[in-house]
């Protein structure tokens, strides 16, 4: 007899990948796709060598360099010796263990979470891991995708499996329709502001509701990407026609009859009627305004038409203390309207918001306008493919004409491991995912926003409510 208990999307993908579940032990979970980058992998390969182990499935492993690649002219040598060594180490490891590497000069190079979907290796129902917390991005396709540490990278390389305790589930239901000028980034920032940076700890989030269904794949990736900022292990969205349209024709996606057959199976990847989540939260999309963070944690955010909050108004002493410290670091005064906060730098990029649609949205704001005097603004496409596509549409010229810098692909100033960093005291409107102290450079101050909001801040030199702009002129 078949088990007819209604299951969530997560449970369906989880159950299918459990190789063994012994009582009182973690499940042994099969991993369909392992993405690898230069920063969290060298010690894992070294571990394999020390133990005389090989990579079990190099054919299910894909590598690229993204975290510390320079974003300036690619024909120049990498000047930072330690970065160069780390990239060379990955090249050697991939060569020795037979893994495909999209290296520095490869036309397929890009941020690992941008190229997976581009290549069509990210598919519904897969288990996907990477030594990177933003692996949750791939959950937008109905995959179970999560970040792991280097010891687990080694584990997957050696066994193509992981030992995992089953996480709990959480539904984030976003009903209604978004207002013009409000984006997927604003949804996820609003979710995190509502539930907190540990609101989803120990769970896998499934995003549901009309507002989520109406999003494109790239927008869904933005949502799932920042699940980790709410503490979740992963974020997932059930695959639908939007997903299939995105995937069809991708280099590694199934073709022809095989695609149709896969599609029928992928359509089963939805939460059954009557399935129960461990937690649930609901938001109304029509009530979400463009978001701007004011503090040093992604949950410290508010609507652009609000003010910097007063720490003393917060409910607990721990929160008050964190907010006081954050405002001191951010050099902000309670009660200041968010739109009066001036910026020195603007960064449009990162695995959260560096895809073609993000660049189109930002370009639409920037077109026929100029970056405010004294503001340094840059666009860093998520991949070489995004860069080429954007250039073929003339987006690069729109940004360049406005006074933006147009860079090569990589993680860049999201985490500032390369030369793209804020200086002490500089304030940045950033489309990335983390506003931690020093994240974009020691003493730098980060405000997380959507691509449109970042672009508008570049033009005006301070935050503006993008809803008030007429973007058709």
Binding-site sequence positions for [4Fe-4S] cluster = 351, 411, 414
Query: Which stretch, 181-189, 195-203, 281-289, 349-357, contacts another protein (CB under 8 A)?
Result: 195-203
Joined tokens for residue 313: 């108004």
Task: Rule CB under 8 A: say whether 260 interacts with another protein.
Answer: no
**Residues touching another protein, count (CB under 8 A):** 91
Is residue 161 close enough to count as binding another protein by CB under 8 A?
A: yes
Give the nearest distance from C-beta 155 to another protein in angstroms: 5
Segment near another protein (CB under 8 A); pick from 252-260, 367-375, 385-393, 450-458: 252-260
Question: Of 103, 310, 419, 436, which one interacts with another protein (CB under 8 A)?
Answer: 436
Min dist CB 364 to another protein, Å, is 32
Residues 339, 453: Cα–Cα separation, whole Å: 11
Choosing from 53, 166, 279, 367, the residue that interacts with another protein (CB under 8 A) is 53
Q: Does 471 bind another protein (CB under 8 A)?
A: no
Separation between Cα atoms, residue 268 and residue 262, nearest integer Å: 10
Nearer to another protein, 96 or 287 (CB): 96
Kindly tell me which residue out of 8, 71, 86, 430 binds another protein, with binding defined by CB under 8 A.
86
**Selected binder of another protein within 120, 176, 334, 461 (CB under 8 A):** 120
| Angle of the 150-159 helix axis to the 42-50 helix axis, nearest 10 | 50
Minimum separation from the CB atom of position 436 to another protein (A):
4
Q: Which is nearer to another protein, 198 or 278 (CB)?
A: 198
Stretch that binds another protein, among 7-15, 117-125, 344-352, 372-380 (CB under 8 A): 117-125
One of 9, 36, 60, 224 touching another protein (CB under 8 A): 60
Q: Is 175 in the site for another protein (CB under 8 A)?
A: no
Q: Does 40 bind another protein (CB under 8 A)?
A: yes
Query: In b/e form, how buried is each residue of 349-364, taking b as 16+ CB within 10 angstroms?
Result: bbbbbbbbbbbbbbbb
* Residue 453 to residue 451: CA distance in whole angstroms: 5
Burial 281-299 (b: 16+ CB within 10 A, else e): bebebeebbbbbbbbbbbb
Q: What is the rounded CA–CA span in Å between residue 343 and residue 426?
A: 8
Looking at beta carbons only, is 272 or 419 nearer to another protein?
419
Distance in angstroms (rounded) separating the CA atoms of residues 395 and 379: 10
Interface with another protein, residue 118, by CB under 8 A:
no
Distances (CA, A) of 98 to 55, 128, 242, 292: 8, 19, 34, 44
In this complex, which beta carbon is closest to another protein, that of residue 447 or of residue 462? 447
- Closer CB to another protein, residue 167 or residue 181? 167
Q: Which of 15, 96, 198, 391 binds another protein (CB under 8 A)?
A: 198
Distance of alpha carbon 442 from alpha carbon 427, whole angstroms: 12
The partner residues of 446 in beta bridges, in order of sequence, read 428
Binding to another protein (CB under 8 A) within 308-367 occurs at 318-319, 321-322, 325
Q: Is 297 in the site for another protein (CB under 8 A)?
A: yes
How many CB atoms neighbour CB 252 within 10 A? 15
3-state helix, strand, coil in the chain (%, to 5): 40, 20, 45
- In the list 15, 265, 278, 331, the residue contacting another protein (rule: CB under 8 A) is 265
Q: Between residues 92 and 177, which has the closer beta carbon with respect to another protein?
A: 92
Provide the token pair at 34.
């392992």
The DSSP secondary structure of 265-326, one letter per residue, reads HHTT-SPPTT---SEEEEEEGGG---EEE-SSSTT-EEETTSBPPPGGGSSSHHHHHHHHHH
The reply on whether position 58 binds another protein by CB under 8 A is: yes
Q: Which stretch binds another protein (CB under 8 A): 169-177, 194-202, 281-289, 330-338?
A: 194-202
- Closest by alpha carbon to 226, among 243, 205, 209? 205
439 binds another protein (CB under 8 A): yes
Q: CA gyration radius for the chain?
A: 22
Q: Judged by CB under 8 A, does residue 179 bind another protein?
A: no
Say if CB 215 and CB 184 are below 8 A apart.
yes
């Amino acid at each position: 007899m078949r088990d007819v208990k209604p299951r969530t999307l997560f449970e369906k993908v989880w159950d299918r990948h459990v190789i063994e579940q012994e009582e009182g032990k973690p499940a042994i979970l099969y991993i369909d796709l392992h993405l690898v980058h230069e920063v969290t992998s060298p010690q894992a390969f070294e571990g394999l060598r020390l133990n005389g182990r090989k990579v079990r499935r190099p054919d299910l492993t894909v590598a690229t360099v993204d975290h510390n690649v320079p974003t300036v002219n690619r024909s120049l040598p990498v000047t930072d010796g330690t970065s160069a060594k780390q990239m060379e180490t990955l090249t050697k490891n991939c060569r020795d263990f037979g893994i495909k590497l999209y290296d520095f000069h490869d036309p397929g190079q890009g941020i690992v979470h941008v190229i997976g979907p581009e290549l069509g290796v990210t598919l519904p129902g897969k288990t996907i891991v990477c030594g990177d917390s933003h692996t949750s991005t791939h959950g937008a396709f109905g995959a179970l995708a999560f970040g792991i540490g280097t010891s687990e990278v080694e584990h997957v390389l050696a066994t193509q499996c992981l030992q995992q305790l089953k996480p709990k589930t959480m539904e984030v239901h976003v009903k209604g329709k978004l207002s013009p000028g409000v984006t997927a980034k604003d949804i996820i920032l609003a979710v995190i502001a509502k539930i907190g940076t540990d609101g989803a700890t120990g769970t896998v989030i499934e995003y549901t509701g009309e507002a989520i269904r109406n999003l494109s794949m790239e927008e869904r990736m933005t949502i799932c990407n920042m699940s980790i900022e709410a503490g979740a292990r992963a974020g997932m969205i059930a695959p639908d026609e939007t997903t299939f349209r995105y995937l069809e024709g991708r280099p590694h996606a199934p073709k022809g009859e095989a695609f149709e057959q896969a599609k029928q199976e992928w359509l089963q990847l939805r939460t059954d009627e009557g399935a129960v989540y461990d937690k649930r939260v609901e938001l109304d999309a029509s009530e979400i305004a463009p978001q701007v963070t004011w503090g040093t944690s992604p949950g410290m955010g508010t609507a652009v038409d609000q003010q910097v909050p007063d720490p003393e108004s917060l409910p607990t002493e721990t929160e008050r203390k964190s907010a006081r410290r954050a405002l001191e670091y951010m050099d902000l005064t309670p009660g200041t309207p968010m739109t009066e906060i001036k910026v020195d730098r603007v960064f449009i990029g990162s695995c959260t918001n560096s895809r073609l649609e993000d660049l189109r949205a930002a370009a639409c704001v920037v077109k026929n306008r100029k970056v405010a005097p004294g503001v340094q603004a840059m666009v860093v496409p998520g991949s070489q493919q995004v860069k080429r596509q954007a250039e073929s549409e003339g987006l690069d010229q729109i940004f360049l004409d406005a006074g933006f810098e147009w860079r090569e692909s990589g993680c860049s100033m999201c985490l500032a491991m390369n030369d793209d960093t804020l200086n002490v005291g500089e304030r940045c409107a950033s489309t990335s995912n983390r506003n931690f102290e020093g994240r974009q450079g020691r003493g730098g101050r980060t405000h997380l926003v959507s691509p449109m909001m970042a672009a508008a801040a570049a033009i005006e030199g301070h935050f503006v409510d993008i809803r008030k702009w007429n973007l058709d002129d």
